[in-house]
Amino acid sequence: MLDLPSSCGVTTHVYPLLGLLFLIAVASLSCYLAKVNMGASQCQFESGRWRIEPMSCCSHCVDAESLFTQRIAQRDLLRYRKYGPRFSTRLLLRVIGPPGTHAKTLLDIGGGIGAIPHELLASGLTSAVLVEASVAYLHVAEEEANRRGHRKRLICHHGDFVELASELAPADIVTLDRVICCYPDMETLVDASIAKAKHVYALVYPRERWITKIGAGLVNVFLRLRGGAFRTYIHSSKAVDAVIRRHGFRRSFYERTVLWQVVTYVRSDAP
């Protein structure tokens, strides 16, 4: 044993312990805040007790506007021009493959700058619809479509897909790339979007791991301090899969990265 003064002994033992306790507290708080419907909530005093209500999906989408700003959209565009689609998006595109005889149309929900439509329109897709809650992303997607010469084949809609769904036509391929984790009501979003898929339904969404839960929780702490309604969610993979299968689809591809799962579904009666 080292013969240190007692104050040194306290320092060497107490600081690491305090550090560990702090990390456990942050991790627990993060996991708690990452829980579905707890990330975005409103409190209401009703019949003598407090009730916690999930934040409405509408205010959530309105707040997407203030989060996915012009600056973020331009940054994403520069990154896309320099490096191409993100790794998980590239995986998704590889599975979908070049659009063939049965896949001529795409509906990309929450597609940001439109990497998926840009890539598929360049490889044989006839037309694509992009639905985005952020107008800044839509402007950048349109600008890029102009530059790539396929602006006339890309139709853009601004707003919450769930609210717009009844006005949108079905498409051969429906994609949601890192969108399910941005929406409070997973079941309604998946229900409404799979109903638009004629052949292929393709998703990128977070894996249910402690690392993604802690990450989402920390992001939600930041979002909560920022004051808006937007939150991130780690929805149950089992629940997502169940909603999709209810619509007569089966899983055709599954791959994982550290944070994301890339999954595609086709109709159960497809060869």
Ligand X SMILES: C[S@@+](CC[C@H](N)C(=O)[O-])C[C@H]1O[C@@H](n2cnc3c(N)ncnc32)[C@H](O)[C@@H]1O
Note whether 161 binds ligand X by CB under 6 A.
yes
**Strand locations in the chain, DSSP E?**
41-46, 49-54, 105-109, 127-132, 154-158, 171-177, 197-206, 249-256, 260-267
Nearer CB in complex with ligand X: 99/112: 112
Smallest separation (angstroms) from ligand X to the CB of 110: 3
117: left (phi over 0), alpha (psi -120 to 50) or beta: alpha
Note whether 117 binds ligand X by CB under 6 A.
no
Out of 111, 117, 184, 206, the residue judged to bind ligand X by CB under 6 A: 111
Residues 6+ apart with CB under 8 A from 222: none
Note whether 63 binds ligand X by CB under 6 A.
no
Note whether 138 binds ligand X by CB under 6 A.
no
Q: Is residue 110 within 8 Å of residue 181, measured between CB atoms?
A: no
Residue 48 sits at φ, ψ, to 5 deg, of 80, 5
Out of 128, 182, 216, 244, the residue judged to bind ligand X by CB under 6 A: 182
Note whether 61 binds ligand X by CB under 6 A.
yes
Note whether 64 binds ligand X by CB under 6 A.
yes
**Which residue's Cβ has the minimum distance to ligand X?**
110
Please give the Cα distance from 187 to 180 (Å, whole number). 10
Note whether 233 binds ligand X by CB under 6 A.
no
Out of 92, 128, 145, 162, the residue judged to bind ligand X by CB under 6 A: 162
Cα angle vertex 162, ends 239, 121, to 5°? 95
Smallest separation (angstroms) from ligand X to the CB of 161: 4
Interface ranges with ligand X (CB under 6 A): 61, 64, 68, 89, 109-112, 131-134, 137, 160-162, 177-179, 182-183, 189
